Amino acid sequence: MSSLSTILINSNNLSGEIPAELGNMENLVSLASYENQLSGPIPPSFGNLVSMNVMLLFSNDLSGPLPPSLFNLTNLADIELDQNQFNGPLPDLCRGKKLQILHVHRNNLDGPIPKTFRDCGSLISISLGFNQIHGDITEAFGVYPHLQSISLQSNNLVGRLSPNIGSWRNLTALDFADNMIEGTIPAELGELENLVKLRLSSNRLAVEIPPEIGNLVNLNSMNFGNNQLSGQIPKQIGQLQNLDTLDLSNNQLDGPIPDEIGNGLRLRALQLGNNSLNASLPRTLGHLIYLQSMLDVSQNNFSGPIPSELGNLQMLMYVNLSHNQFGGAIPTSITSMQSLSVFDVSYNILEGPVPKGFHNASAKWFLHNKGLCGDLAGMSPCLTPAHHVQNRGKLIVEVSVPAVFVAISSMACFLAIWVCRKKSSQETNAVRKAGVFSVWSFDGKLAFEDIVNATDNFDEKHCIGEGAYGRVYKATLQDGHVVAVKKLHPDDEETHDEERFHKEIETLTKIRQRSIVKLYGFCCHPRYRFLVCQFIERGNLASILSNEDLASQFHWQRRTALIRDVAQAITYLHHDC
């Protein structure tokens, strides 16, 4: 045993403490015991493992402080201790200047970042997020020519962003969100041409967004929300043609939205709410035809008419223009937005009739305006000539109830796969995976980590339902977007039929019907297979009908509307899918 160099005992439901005798194996180079149920501390005797190169103990229940004797592991290149219960300070793990991967996120570590990290130029990936690490980061990091990913999110760090960041030329992901970092965003960030993900949200950053940010041509996600940024949105943001998500909400930005934002043709979520932006909305927003999950410009000082070009955004589901000074009439083109589920224009000075054609509209969307009228319950009716209504014995169905969307969605999703699978069996074209992933453009690795983090590795507390094929979890992503994640059962043979699985996914991506839950993306990771779908509030139909009070409110007019919606969804699946 003393000559043993590798131990691989991961993912075996092992429990108990790590034996101190392992520290006597001087020739041990690699130890992998991740995804078990190990508990207790790392023995101090591990400081004797001077040949150790790789230590993978993540996803266990280990606890206690990390032994200072780990300082002796001068050959250490990869240490991953994340998702445990470790506490105390982080020891110096880069004494040998060979450390490449340091993952200790989701523990209870505190204390400052070791000073020796500044000279650890071998680092490739740093993940310290979701701990209680504190201290000033202004001079904590040096020049890292190989660094690809760094995450310090959700700690207690202060200080300023160092211009040294500009030297991390291989960086693809930077996440410093949820700390207390202040000062400016350094212009040197614009030198990171490989950057894909940039999160600086929920800090104390001030002054203007540097125009050099427009040089990040590979950027997919940028979140500067919840800071104290001022000045105007730089027009150079229009150069970010790979940008999928842009969040500048909850700052002190002013001036107009630049017309150039319409050049970001891959944008799927745009959040600019709670600033001091003004002027009119640029008509170029109508160019963002792939905008899907959100357009939020609420709580600003916008004025003028609502651009009719917004009607071009056929994939957009959520629009919030509330708490501004928009005037005039709501353009009729808005009703052509087939995927729209929320269109909030409350607290403006709009007037005239609400266009007919909104599906499942709520009067709350239109409250507190100058003179809007319409047929919705709770709104003032428009003054029109009287007309006679024939067949008084028939029910007049107005709108369906958002509370029962989950029931409709689940049924329709199942039918979508069943009906359209019959059609796809008649086709011989190969599945184009690129088209499937275009449902929700993201970096796969980053999105997978975001989902796993948001569900605490699919913890029971996030589970909101279970069916024959998997369990459903509620997940709040880093950008604030809430989704439903259906994790498929690992023993389901159909989910492991790769060709069938991709055909079913491709079918779901083509669905565009208001009463059918929308698919955002999917994952084919070796550990998990899951679907990322639209999350609908307020439970399901069964819970309503089993509750006497709720059932009494669910009157026959609403039940008839529900039946109509289900029928329309089934018709769509049979004839339009």
Residues 6+ apart with CB under 8 A from 449: none
Pairing of strands 519-523, 530-534: antiparallel
- Tell me how far apart the alpha carbons of residues 306 and 342 are, in angstroms, rounded to a whole number: 16
| 97-127: burial string, b at 16+ Cβ within 10 Å, e else | eebbbbbbbbbebbbebbeebbebebbbbbb
3-state secondary structure 392-437: CCCCCCCCCCHHHHHHHHHHHHHHHHHHHHHHHCCCCCCCCHHHHH
Residue whose tokens read 């339009």: 576
- Tell me how far apart the alpha carbons of residues 216 and 186 are, in angstroms, rounded to a whole number: 13
- Tell me how far apart the alpha carbons of residues 202 and 184 are, in angstroms, rounded to a whole number: 14
**Phi, psi at 170, each rounded to 5°:** -95, 5
CB 152 within 8 A of CB 180: no
The structure tokens listed for 508 are 């779901």
Amino acid letter at 352?
A: G
CA angle 202, 193, 274 (to 5 degrees): 25
The structure tokens listed for 57 are 């103990």
CB 37 within 8 A of CB 61: yes
CB 303 within 8 A of CB 326: yes
Query: Is there a binding annotation on residue 487?
Result: yes
- Tell me how far apart the alpha carbons of residues 353 and 350 are, in angstroms, rounded to a whole number: 10
Return the SS3 of 352. strand
- Tell me how far apart the alpha carbons of residues 502 and 522 are, in angstroms, rounded to a whole number: 10
CB 142 within 8 A of CB 166: no
User: Could you count the other beta carbons within 10 Å of the beta carbon of residue 276?
Assistant: 13
CB 175 within 8 A of CB 196: no
- Tell me how far apart the alpha carbons of residues 31 and 12 are, in angstroms, rounded to a whole number: 14
- Tell me how far apart the alpha carbons of residues 460 and 376 are, in angstroms, rounded to a whole number: 40
Helix then strand then coil, in percent of the chain rounded to 5, is 25, 25, 50
Q: CA-CA-CA-CA torsion for 77, 81, 87, 88, nearest 10 degrees? A: 0
CB 18 within 8 A of CB 38: yes
CA distances from 416 to 421, 439, 573 (A): 8, 16, 6
Which DSSP category does 227 fall into? Answer: S
The structure tokens listed for 219 are 């950027």
Q: Which residues on adjacent β-strands are paired with residue 221?
A: 197, 245
Sign of the alpha-carbon torsion through 192, 196, 202, 206: positive
Residues marked as binding?
487
Residues marked as binding for ATP?
487
